[in-house]
Structure formats: structure tokens, C-alpha cells
Homo-oligomer: A and B are copies of this chain.
Amino acid sequence: MQPTPSRTMDIPKEIRDCGLRATLPRVRVLQLFHENPGKHFSADDNYHLLSNENIDVVLATVYRVLLQFAEANILIRHTFDTDRAFFELNKGSHHDHIICTKCGCVEDFVDDAIEQRQALIAKQHRYILQTHTLTLYGLCETCTQPGHWDRVVIFRCSVQRNGLSKCMHIR
């Protein structure tokens, strides 16, 4: 269910272990996530990051690879109420997210009290709980200090109707 927590990261092995061939596109995509711990990348992000490294991979392949990795539980897919999908490395332990609506940075958090209340609510509604999504939106410490805004470099960001930035990561 969760990826092997090996300290020497053998990416081809990790891919083969879930029944997939260790091809270049798959290795490089997974490598990107390992090289950027905690980051959330869209298909397009992956595509451009790989292009910047002069790796010839086609967008359709990136989509296929991300989907397979998500099905294999190597990656986790999120939407964050935007119109695109973002993926992050599945570190095995569940967590929720707090996102800055200005700079788009994402932090993880876990709160046992909330987890327990959720279980209780599901029981009260007579549901068998399978999963949940909890995302807090607000302004991060940096973005609440006006003078510091110009120090933040957005990797790529376009604000959409619902007020969220379309791209969730910064350099």
C-alpha cells in the first residue's frame, strides 16, 4: 500500500516493484518527486520540468505515468478545488494541507483530534469511512507582510475565478 522506505532510493526498483517497466519517462518523473520532497506537481509541471532538463517526454506519457503511479499508490492525486490535478509523493502517512492563496505554497499537517472527529461523524451518519480531504486556505506568514511579497518568486501562477492560484508550488 505504501512505498518502500529505503534510504538508498532505487527508483527503477521502486517502479518495477509495482509491476511497471523502468522506462526513462517513468524514472525521470518519479525522480522529480524524490528530488523535490513535499512538492505538488501537475502533469504540466512535470512536463515542463523534464523539458528544461532536455528530456524528451510527451505530455500524454506524463499523464499516463502519473495515473499509473497514483493507481500504484506511489503518488497521491489532489485537486485542491482547482481545475487541474496535482500529485505528490506518497510517504505512507496520511496528512492534510494548508495552502497560501497568495503565493501558493503548501504545507502538510496532521491533527489527531480532527481525524477522530471525522471517524465519529462518519459513524453518526452511518457511513463506512474510506478517505477524506481537508484543506485550509489562507495567507502564509510571508504573504501577510507586504514588504516581503517581492522576495517570493512564483514558479508559475495564474489566479482563477475561485481565487486560488492554479499552480501550487514556488521555487
Give the interface of A toward B (CB within 8 A). Answer: 67, 70-71, 77-79, 81-83, 85, 98, 100-101, 107, 109, 111, 113-114, 117-118, 121-122, 125-141, 144, 161-162
Contacts and interface: CB of A to CB of B under 8 A. Distances in A.
Nearest to A161: B67
Contacts of A135: 132-134
8 tightest Cβ-Cβ pairs between the two chains A and B: A127-B138, A126-B141, A129-B138, A128-B139, A134-B134, A130-B138, A132-B136, A79-B81
A118 B97 CA distance: 11
Given A79-B82, A98-B127, A136 B121 contact: yes
| Copies of this subunit | 2
A166 to B, nearest CB: 13
Contacts of A129: 136-138
B134 A122 contact: no
A142 B77 CA distance: 28
Given A107-B125, A129-B138, 11 more contacts: A71-B161, A77-B81, A77-B162, A83-B83, A127-B139, A130-B137, A130-B139, A131-B137, A131-B138, A132-B137, A134-B134
Nearest to A129: B138
A132 to B, nearest CB: 5
A108 to B, nearest CB: 10
B132 A144 contact: no
A20 B64 CA distance: 44
9 contacts: A77-B162, A79-B79, A79-B81, A81-B133, A98-B125, A114-B114, A128-B138, A132-B136, A134-B134
